Amino acid sequence: MGETRFASLEEACIDKKVIEEAGRIIRNGGLVAFPTETVYGLGGDALQKESSRRIYAAKGRPSDNPLIVHICRWEDIKKIAGKIPPKAEILAKALWPGPLTMILEKTDAVPPETTGGLSTVAVRMPQNKIALALIEAAGGYVAAPSANISGKPSPTLAEHVQEDLGGRIDLILDGGAACIGLESTIVDLTGDKPVILRPGYITKEMLEEILGCPVDVDRMSPDGEKGKAPRAPGMKYRHYAPEGQLTIVSGNETDVTAMICRLVKEKMRAGERTGIICSEETRPLYQADHIEVMGPREDKEAAARHLYAALRRFDSRKIDYIYSEEFSGNGVGMAVMNRLLKAAGHRILQAK
């Protein structure tokens, strides 16, 4: 493809002309990257199979990894979801627009290309006003995976999209930094008990409180159990990975910091470029070629916001080996650790 255009927008006063043009591109089968509160999305018309094919091609994404369909009005869900359980309505009332994706039975209006051949569809109503305006201008149904090359960290800035997809898509809408920084929570509502397929900013505790019933977390490993298809097909692929080798070091703080210092020293002696992911509290203990601070240890939201941009900076600084402290896994921390583990290909060392 040729040139990718770039347009900056303010959420507080959206330029209607730009949105109309972006909507027209999508309706005509083209691709537009746009900001959401989670990460940047790569949008195409969810109801045109050719658009979904183009999304997969632009990202280099395997075509059995389904796309999330983004809507801007609750009523619109009826066209794409066959059965809408009461729990879906309750969650939508409480959390939409927002960073929650629901898996529901699909209707024939959604082509199998969009759902990776599944009989279910993932639906979300994002909160970002630029995203909502674009979805409306595009006809109401925008399929949008994260706007990165498949396997790379998701983009939290328009510049990341440009880096990955410049020349492969029609337009990038720049709306500044994504405020959450991790992809939406995905909850499967097709069974009796809701199941979280991907943790995110909306936590298990929040869903249980709103629904008044227990919610499971799917513990499927990214590679899937032998002979069993993963429930969120995207989970079987390596994700969010920096080019250098990332290792997570787990254990109590004293042991972890000592082990990271030891490992970094060994690699530096061998002439490798080293990096560290740590908290504000432990930062003074380290020396390496590049250090990324995720924020105060207990601030999981800050870690979520910083993680992907940090992973990309290790690449631009050509770091060979990255060591990360472990983050505690409750609340939003569960989502941070889930992405970090995938980025590390589950390479985790116990500090002693």
- Please state the closest distance from residue 198 (CB atom) to Mg ion, in A: 10
Task: Name which of Mg ion, ligand AMP, none residue 65 binds, using a CB cut-off of 5 to 8 Å depending on partner kind.
Answer: ligand AMP
- To Mg ion, the closest distance from the beta carbon of 146 in angstroms equals 3
Binding partner of residue 103 among ligand AMP, Mg ion, none, CB under 5 to 8 Å per kind? ligand AMP
| Least distance (Å) between residue 98 CB and ligand AMP | 15
Which range in 48-56, 112-120, 138-146, 341-349 contacts Mg ion by CB under 5 A?
138-146
Q: How far is the CB of 268 from Mg ion (least distance, A)?
A: 33
Residue closer to ligand AMP, measured from CB, 30 or 99: 99
CB of 326 to ligand AMP, least distance (A): 23
Instruction: Please state the φ and ψ torsions of residue 232, each to the nearest 5 degrees.
Output: -110, 105
187/277 with CB nearer ligand AMP: 187
Give min distance, CB of 302 to Mg ion, in A.
21
Sequence length of the chain is: 352
Amino acid identity of residue 269, one-letter, is: R
Residue with smaller CB distance to ligand AMP, 36 or 274: 36
Q: Which is nearer to ligand AMP, 186 or 334 (CB)?
A: 186
Alpha carbon 56 to chain centroid, angstroms: 16
For residue 284, the tally of other CB atoms under 10 A from its CB is 8
Q: Which does 122 bind (CB under 5 to 8 A by kind): ligand AMP, Mg ion, none?
A: ligand AMP
Give which of 304, 74, 275, 116 is closest to 201, Cα–Cα. 304
Q: What is the DSSP letter of 304?
A: H
Q: Which residue is nearest to Mg ion (CB)?
A: 146
Q: Which does 118 bind (CB under 5 to 8 A by kind): ligand AMP, Mg ion, none?
A: ligand AMP
Which residue lies nearer to ligand AMP by CB, 87 or 267?
87
DSSP assignment of 1-40, as one string? --PPEEEE--SSS--HHHHHHHHHHHHTT--EEE--SSS-
Which CA distances in Å does 107 have to 23, 47, 77, 78, 119? 23, 11, 10, 9, 8
- The Cα–Cα gap between 260 and 224 comes to 30
Which of Mg ion, ligand AMP, none interacts with 173 (beta carbon under 5 to 8 A by kind)? none
From ligand AMP, Mg ion, none, interface partner of 9 (C-beta below 5 to 8 A by class): none
Q: Which long-range contacts (CB under 8 A, 24 or more apart) does 284-292 make?
A: 285/257, 285/261, 286/257, 286/260, 286/261, 287/261, 288/264, 289/317, 289/319, 290/314, 290/317, 290/319
Q: Which residues bind ligand AMP (CB under 6 A)?
A: 65-68, 103, 115, 118, 120-122, 145-146, 183, 186, 197-198, 231-235
- Count Cα neighbours of 47 within 13 Å in the Cβ-side half-sphere: 16
Minimum CB distance to ligand AMP, residue 264 (Å): 32
Nearer to ligand AMP, 145 or 194 (CB): 145
* Start-to-end CA span in the chain (Å): 52
How far apart CA 127 and CA 34 sit, in angstroms, is 12
Question: Are the C-beta atoms of residues 187 and 215 closer than 8 Å to each other?
Answer: yes
Give me the least distance between CB of 292 and ligand AMP, in Å please.
23
Chain mean position to CA 269: 36
> Choosing among ligand AMP, Mg ion, none, which partner's interface includes residue 248 (Cβ < 5 to 8 Å by kind)?
none
Tell which one of 114, 120, 146, 279 touches Mg ion (CB under 5 A). Answer: 146
Residues forming contacts to Mg ion in the complex (CB under 5 A) are 146
